[in-house]
Structure 1
Amino acid sequence: MPNLDAETPGTAVVTGGARGIGASCAARLAAQGRPVVVWDREAPEDPVNGVDYVRVDVGRADDVARAASASALGRVGLLVNAAGVTGFGRAEEIAPDLWREVLESNLYGPFHTAHALFPALRRAKGQIINIASITAGVPGAGRVAYCTSKSGVVTMTKVLALEWAAHGIRVNCVSPGYTRTRMVQDAMDAGHLDEQAVLGRIPQGRTAEPGEIADVILLLTDERFAHVTGDNLVVDGGWSVNGAY
């Protein structure tokens, strides 16, 4: 008889799923009929029916460990690490507290969640998809903490893919370009990002919608792509290849 437990996709844990790209991922996964648990330190802006929301600060290993050990979590087959914060400041002026907050949320967080959920993902032969950024490969001045954290996510993805392939776990990364999230809009409103300069470099002439990034993330979960691991898929409308001015 077939192993029905192995064939079911299991619960999807989405960090940072209260808003932005993470919220779009949670909504799409729930629409597929998949059990979804969101870990976020904020309450959801627009709760999705059928999605369980749990207050978790992924930058804190003890917080993540408690959430990962909850019996209600069930069988975990997918981890989407979408939690993240931005932080602006040049290297000579950035406050130590901001440096720590960005690294804890953006880099330590994905490691804490992957580490805590490894036993469950190993049993399910599951998947991890980390969200990095185009700034991991094309850094910008004034964002030393953010760029450092996201380049670390890309490298960590590759190492986890190497180490955990033998356990049947696929680990991939998606690096979005400028996406119409509240985080990006807040940065534009604060003057940290020049919207016209951003749009001027994107060959498609527009930012992405969160749902477009979520669609790519869900594409990677498809078993038709079961041989894809350790990859970093850039989704930026051509921004990172536009080197001519």
Structure 2
Amino acid sequence: MTRTALVTGAARGIGLATVKLFLRDGLHVIMVDNDEDALSQAAADLENVTTLPCDVSDAEAVATLAAGVDRVDALVNNAGLADFGPIEETTFDRWRRVMATNLDGVFLMTQAFTPHLKDTKGAIVNIASISALRASTLRVAYGTSKAGVAHLTQQQAVELGEYGIRANCVCPGPVRTKLAMAVHTQDIIDAYHDAIPLNRYGQEVEIAEAIVWLCSSKASFVTGQRLAVDGGFESTGIGLPSLRA
């Protein structure tokens, strides 16, 4: 039977790049996103995919989604919401919106699809962020939610390992997405140049390659890990403009 991957946040960015790599490797892919129009557009030129709109923060919607899916070998919890701002200006409503998608969504999706993953001895990959591993300004909700995802991944690995299910977490560093390039000033780009040992942003496909590898048999003894795919960003201290080449 054809292996099946389910990817949330699949309509764009890292999620869509991951979908394409799974397809390259011969898997059927279930594409999930809460933006139905963007999802349809993203899938228009793809073969061997199924599109299922769903808000992963909605427990009932997730339960309905899981009930309509027969098989999942790899679950990629990629759907996320970015909301940056100072602690003093982060209202509880903003806090809850970020937590609902970024953390609650990972919990709900994994819980709902655990029976499927038991059947296939499948793999879970949760997408956190370098902000899960190192704090930075304006990310009180986002960074905290992603740190929760990183720990939740270890909980999943510990509890689900006895069923042959592996759970790992990918923590992307700065990635050259259309959104990032639209909002990052030259000062921000220069600061990242100094702080990232490889002296560049990552590409969406580079993150996707790590995700697909963790879902594959090549990573069959890897579980409970938090993999920073960040060009070495986590290993550095605070960058100093005077040190830039």
TM over 0.5: yes
Q: 2:145 aligns with which of 143, 149, 155?
A: 149
Q: SS at the partner of 2:20? A: helix
- The match for 2:205 is 211
- The match for 1:232 is 226
The one-letter code of the counterpart of 1:149 is S
- The match for 1:124 is 120
Q: 1:78 aligns with which of 71, 74, 77?
A: 74
Q: Tell which deviates more after alignment, 92-101 or 104-113.
A: 92-101
Structure 1 regions of 5+ residues with no counterpart? 1-7
Question: Kindly tell me: are residues 25 and 62 of structure 1, through their superposed partners in 2, closer, same or farther at Cα, counting changes over 3 Å?
Answer: same
Correspondence list, 1:73-222, <5 A: 73-188=69-184, 194-222=188-216
The one-letter code of the counterpart of 1:221 is C
> How far off is 1:97 after superposition?
2.1
Q: What's the RMSD between the two structures over aligned residues?
A: 1.7
1:53 aligns with 2:51: yes
Question: Kindly tell me: are residues 90 and 153 of structure 1, through their superposed partners in 2, closer, same or farther at Cα, counting changes over 3 Å?
Answer: same
Distance 1:187 1:58 in 2: 26
> How far off is 1:207 after superposition?
0.5
Distance 2:112 2:178 in 1: 29
Distance 2:156 2:34 in 1: 25
Distance 1:56 1:160 in 2: 22
Q: 1:34 aligns with which of 27, 34, 39?
A: 27
> How far off is 1:162 after superposition?
0.1
> How far off is 1:30 after superposition?
1.4
Distance 2:109 2:178 in 1: 24
- The match for 1:67 is 65
Distance 1:58 1:145 in 2: 18
* TM-score of the superposed pair, with normalisation by structure 2: 0.90
> How far off is 1:243 after superposition?
1.6
Structure 2 regions of 5+ residues with no counterpart? 241-245
Distance 2:177 2:51 in 1: 20
- The match for 2:217 is 223
> How far off is 1:9 after superposition?
6.0
> How far off is 1:149 after superposition?
0.4
| Sequence identity (%) | 39
- The match for 2:18 is 25
Question: Kindly tell me: are residues 185 and 95 of structure 1, through their superposed partners in 2, closer, same or farther at Cα, counting changes over 3 Å?
Answer: farther
Q: SS at the partner of 1:80? A: strand
Question: Kindly tell me: are residues 239 and 87 of structure 1, through their superposed partners in 2, closer, same or farther at Cα, counting changes over 3 Å?
Answer: same
Q: SS at the partner of 1:204? A: coil
